[in-house]
Amino acid sequence: MPDVDLLITLAGLIVGFTVGLTGMGGGALMTPILVLVFGVQPLTAVSSDLVVSLVMKPVGSAVHLHRGTVNKPLVKWLVVGSVPSAFAGVLVLKALGSGKAVQDIVTLSLGIALLLASMTIVLKSFLQMRGFARALASRNSGAAVNEPAPLVVRPLPTLLIGVLGGFVVGVTSVGSGSLIIVLLLLLYPTIKSSEVVGTDLVQAVPLVGAAALGHLLFGEVKFDLTSSLLLGALPGVYFGARVSSRAPQGVVRVALVFVLVASSLKLLGLSTQTTGAILLAIAVVSPLLWGLARRAQGLPRTWRREIRAPKGQRRLFAESLAVQRRRTQPIAIQPAADVPGRSEQPAAGAEPAAGAEPVDVDEPAA
């Protein structure tokens, strides 16, 4: 029976809770914690974390498949690129040999991947802000909101996203959530956030499976370590998902970015003093830059609170109106002073549109 390390189980609980809360941060948090806090060899941390992810991913995937928030053609092209690429990433590590040289390469690759992951979280938040600003401007102008056109899958660019994401995951265990999601948002700006998350979770199952198989064959999986992580991560994911609708997502994301940047700088070999100075500079400058970006989009400081629906799910005006719009009859736009995020109410005595019924929607990604 594998030995259980309670401190590692606690770390798995914290990371699992963060994943359930934000939908990202699994490999990006778990692997650096194992390396920097517990002194685990980088290759062992990557290998064990991938096996843990292989157990966790199908849980979220099943939920999204049941809800219908998965774009299966997108999944197909992502998997075609990511599965062989993930296995190839493991083979590259194997070809580099063993010992300190390969551990140093994994450490460097992990540091770069974490830095990219932190940047993608910031970019995702900016895309969300820009999408809300455009929807709000359209709503305030009184223009009718057209129903979004069906998503047209672009096979080659989607396959290339899978290739890039799969290789990064195979080498570092980072990227199946943060990197691939943001690349999909950039390629398909009209896709809903629930659909992009569901699509990414489903394609991540074979992706992580291929990477985990490669590391089981050629990596350094430690089953004692994996068991300890799973004991904490599985309940952590469950409870994180339970409270995700009520948690201050903005605060969680800011903290996650800081942790990822600090971890990446340490893995890249920077001293504690230099890392602290860089983090302090980021803490001072980033709120100013974010405020400038928000004002450039014409949004108030409280814009995040204004798009919270009663159940805590974020929505945009344009999506809420477009989903309820009938193809044969444009709908009227409510004044901007009305409560945002709610479906419009018919005037007194007016007959509702034929077949109309309340629709629960998620926000568009951008």
Question: Is residue 355 scored above 70 in pLDDT?
Answer: no
pLDDT at 354: 42
pLDDT at 259: 83
pLDDT digits (tens, 9 = 90+) for 258-270: 888 988 898 888 9
Measured in whole angstroms, the distance separating CA 71 from the mean position of its chain's CA atoms is 16
pLDDT digits (tens, 9 = 90+) for 31-60: 888 888 888 888 888 888 888 888 877 776
CA distance 174 to 27: 5
Percent of the chain surpassing pLDDT 70 = 72
Span between the terminal Cα atoms of the chain, in Å: 48
Mean pLDDT calculated for residue range 188-216 = 84
Q: Which two tokens stand for residue 324?
A: 């309820």
For the chain, domain boundaries: 6-296
pLDDT at 134: 78
Question: Is residue 330 scored above 50 in pLDDT?
Answer: no
pLDDT digits (tens, 9 = 90+) for 130-176: 877 877 777 667 655 555 567 888 999 999 999 998 998 888 888 77
